């Protein structure tokens, strides 16, 4: 008996050759409390406002051919293979969002544009205009990339505040699934702060059941105001198709990354020198804490900025710069988006008493892979 293993997958760009056939079924509309713009409920006015700001992205490049025979000098001579590495061309498709019409900035996923070497990126707008795009910068850790096109009369999708999202809020996913062209689907916010999926170095995903499929990577997740709340990135499915579990990078994180990429071309991350763990109810009870929210410090690196600020193992971080910290993921995000040299104000509970510590963000000194919870 054959079995299928459910796996979390990035929304890999839809390869042109991969679309062999499509099966279309009857669409069943789902009606709920949605804007009423006439005598019937409809999302059309929201969609009409947003879709001009969502673009199709086509990428071509080349990758080195990996074949053990080509590494053997005898076979290379026998087969008369040239000395230089053999390369083959690849083509892929994805989606993007115009986030700054004045400067022509388009946001997408890093994995959409990272198809190999000699990449040529073409952006197609809703009005069928085509533009060669310049890669401004990319951040593999969050899977965000920023492109620039030289075009006028662009429509941008305004940023919403993803920190204000609630589970149950309605959402629309717009993108270019399977290279079909612009497609709109609807759903709700299913969960917030999803981590531990193992697809990015930094994870704090919005989960949605709005249908997302390969080719939607880099597309927009918007609310019913037509504001950008996320960049569609990954799905959970047995075979790479939609089963109602999709993930998006929150818009607030994406915007912070974009600002760094536009300004510096890359993202410089920092650390404060602590190792943390989530506060479970059992740990909270053992420490006589009345809350199960926060990030519990289990180690402070000697000589780090946290150590110099008086932070101690056993301290519970409940807020950073007056923003609530509910978990290690929350605190990781606060550190990751901070700039080296910034001062973070940590609200701490120590022995049942509130304490404030001012900690400077230092240059990241060690790879996070060696210590996943060290920040």
Tally helices (H) and strands (E) across the chain. 7, 21
User: Given the structure tokens 């989606």, which residue do they identify?
Assistant: 95
Active site residue 95: no
User: Given the structure tokens 């270019």, which residue do they identify?
Assistant: 176
Active site residue 118: no
Catalytic residue among 111, 304, 315, 330: 111
Phi/psi at 244 (5° precision): 90, 15
pLDDT tens digits in sequence order for the chain, 375 residues long: 433 344 555 655 544 434 334 343 444 444 445 565 557 788 889 999 999 999 999 888 766 666 555 555 655 555 565 565 666 677 778 899 999 999 999 999 999 888 766 778 999 999 889 999 999 999 988 899 999 999 999 999 999 999 899 999 999 999 888 777 788 999 999 999 887 776 666 778 999 999 888 888 899 999 999 999 999 998 877 666 667 889 999 999 999 899 989 988 888 778 899 999 888 888 888 777 777 788 999 999 998 999 999 999 999 999 998 888 888 878 887 887 788 888 999 999 888 889 999 999 988 754 333 334 456
Do residues 234 and 197 touch, judged by C-beta distance below 8 A? Answer: yes
Q: What is the DSSP letter of 41?
A: B
Catalytic residue among 162, 186, 190, 217: 217
Domains 31-51+156-264 and 55-148 equal at CATH topology level: yes
Active site residue 18: no
User: Given the structure tokens 């499915």, which residue do they identify?
Assistant: 237
- Delimit the domains of the chain by residue range: 31-51+156-264, 55-148, 270-370
Query: CATH topology for 270-370?
Result: Pdz3 Domain (2.30.42)
The model scores a pTM over 0.75: no
Q: 55-148 has which CATH code?
A: 2.40.10.10
Catalytic residue among 139, 143, 209, 223: 143
Half-sphere exposure of 198 (CA within 13 A, CB side): 4
Q: 31-51+156-264 has which CATH code?
A: 2.40.10.10
């Amino acid at each position: 008996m054959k079995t299928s293993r459910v796996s979390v997958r990035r929304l890999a760009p839809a390869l042109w050759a991969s679309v062999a056939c499509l099966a279309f079924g009857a669409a069943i509309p789902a009606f709920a409390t949605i804007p009423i713009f006439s005598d019937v409920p409809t999302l059309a006015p929201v969609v009409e406002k947003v879709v001009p700001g969502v673009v199709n992205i086509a990428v071509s490049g080349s990758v080195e051919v990996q074949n053990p025979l080509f590494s053997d000098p005898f076979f290379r001579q026998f087969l008369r293979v040239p000395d230089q590495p053999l390369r083959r061309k690849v083509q892929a498709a994805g989606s993007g969002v115009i986030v700054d019409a004045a400067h022509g900035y388009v946001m997408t996923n890093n994995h959409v544009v990272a198809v190999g070497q000699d990449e040529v990126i073409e952006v197609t707008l809703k009005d069928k205009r085509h533009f060669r795009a310049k890669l401004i910068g990319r951040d593999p850790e969050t899977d965000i990339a920023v492109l620039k096109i030289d075009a006028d009369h662009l429509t941008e999708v305004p940023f919403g505040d993803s920190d204000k999202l609630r589970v149950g809020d309605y959402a629309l996913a717009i993108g270019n699934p399977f290279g079909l062209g612009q497609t709109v689907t609807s759903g709700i916010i299913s969960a917030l702060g999803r981590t531990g999926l193992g697809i990015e170095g930094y994870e704090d995903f919005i989960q949605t059941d709005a249908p997302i499929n390969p080719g939607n990577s880099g597309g927009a997740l918007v609310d019913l105001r037509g504001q950008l709340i996320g960049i569609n990135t990954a799905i959970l499915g047995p075979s790479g198709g939609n089963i109602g579990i999709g993930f998006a990078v929150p818009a607030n994180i994406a915007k912070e990354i974009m600002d760094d990429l536009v300004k510096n071309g890359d993202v410089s991350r920092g650390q404060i020198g602590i190792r943390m763990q989530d506060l479970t109810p059992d740990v909270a009870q053992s420490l006589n804490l009345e809350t199960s929210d926060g990030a519990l410090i289990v180690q402070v690196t000697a000589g780090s900025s946290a150590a110099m600020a008086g932070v101690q193992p056993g301290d519970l971080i409940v807020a950073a710069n007056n923003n609530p910290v509910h978990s290690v993921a929350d605190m990781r995000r606060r550190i990751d988006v901070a700039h080296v040299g910034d001062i973070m104000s940590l609200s701490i509970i120590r022995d049942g008493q509130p304490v404030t510590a001012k900690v400077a963000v230092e240059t990241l000194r060690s790879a996070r892979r060696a210590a996943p919870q060290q920040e």
